[in-house]
Structure 1
């Protein structure tokens, strides 16, 4: 692995030096993702254990927790990828599932809309930086499309009378918004609160991912129509 992959990254208030346990709260709080995955897996088993798209989300959530733990302990370039890539996989996987399971789109239209969302997500930071240069929200801009997607799909579910899924997605959007605010102010509060607020990003996002997985599991199609 090239030496650049080991370049230290100091991105959060809690980290004051490069050692493995320099971010104990940020590191340990990743247990929230593992707990969310465990609870969702139990629910998945109780619901028959044959909903493979939902099981994929459970697996990805587990990897999210592991990857985030690696980043908040090793805190370098390779562990940053271990952190952000699983999150992206979850976001795009869930968006595709939502298109199919909640909005009832056929496979090709669902893939097309998901592709458009990926392009929109990839371009968000560039557009934001051109409109609001220097206002980076502590690296949180890239998560804004996820909030917008939850709001849009949640509202669409309410319109088409899938109120259970709609309310759950809107609740997840609200929690994620609070979580984003806390992530964004981590550096700002550092002088008064040396532990920072990133830990709450982990705890609240663990709840968000559980809500999303629970909604997917509870709104699974009948067993005969579950993709194999």
Structure 2
């Protein structure tokens, strides 16, 4: 793979000039705004601060991708997203559920084979193949919600809400190319806006529960 090769993956892009995706590029401000809003709620919690920093990086990386449209920019786009998922999963296991460090780390690492099994399945399904990796996340949130529905019902409901927002967000991402003929700007920018809301909301969920239980391990 040539890291400097350019490619077109979105409806809004019509050529390889820097501002060919102005709406897709500018709406990455939503991630940065969400990070700046949530960082004020962290009360110094290290996990919350880390999540806000990664959310900020998601906005920067996605901006680079939607302006440069190169292999290296694609990596800058997806790497912070993957890091956010793994970090959040570890913090849930360790800080919200109080699991031992080794168990929290092990279950977090288990996300890799989990996604490795599910991505090919989603890839084989009509519509779901467009965002095959991303669908693993609301499914995982749903699984946690089911497991916690009796012991932590409020947290379970928060996870269901997050999964619902994310599912809508992924749907908007997935229909971008299919609606291109009718909507020239596509729908990818709505993925940015709604996904920023969802990721910020999930930081809110984490902070709400971890700050309410000051004795939980962090």
TM-score by length of 1: 0.89
Q: Counterparts of 1:159 and 1:100 in 2: how far apart (Å)?
A: 19
How far is 1:99 from its partner? 1.5
C-alpha deviations, 1:14-47, integer Å up to 9, x for none? 0011011111111011111011101110111xxx
1:219 to 202, 205, 209: 209
Retained in 2: the 8 A contact 1:67–1:86? Answer: yes
- The equivalent of 2:58 in structure 1 is 64
How far is 1:7 from its partner? 0.6
- The equivalent of 1:79 in structure 2 is 73
Pairing of 1:17-32 with structure 2 (within 5 A): 17-32=15-30
2:147 to 141, 152, 156: 156
- The equivalent of 2:174 in structure 1 is 184
TM-score by length of 2: 0.92
How far is 1:196 from its partner? 0.2
Q: Once structures 1 and 2 are overlaid, which stretch shifts more, 106-115 or 32-41? A: 106-115
Runs of 4+ that moved beyond 3 A: 135-139, 221-227
Retained in 1: the 8 A contact 2:98–2:217? Answer: no
How far is 1:137 from its partner? 4.0
- The equivalent of 2:84 in structure 1 is 90
How far is 1:136 from its partner? 6.1
Q: Counterparts of 1:124 and 1:10 in 2: how far apart (Å)?
A: 26
How far is 1:58 from its partner? 0.6
C-alpha deviations, 1:151-187, integer Å up to 9, x for none? 1112323221x23322221111001101111111110
C-alpha deviations, 1:86-112, integer Å up to 9, x for none? 000001111111112333322111212
Q: Counterparts of 2:127 and 2:157 in 1: how far apart (Å)?
A: 30
- The equivalent of 1:7 in structure 2 is 5
- The equivalent of 2:164 in structure 1 is 174
* Structure 1 unaligned regions, length at least 5: none
Retained in 1: the 8 A contact 2:173–2:191? Answer: yes
Aligned residues: 217
How far is 1:75 from its partner? 0.6
How far is 1:150 from its partner? 1.1
Q: Counterparts of 1:114 and 1:205 in 2: how far apart (Å)?
A: 22
1:16 to 14, 17, 37: 14
Instruction: Say what the alpha-carbon RMSD is for the aligned residues.
Output: 1.8
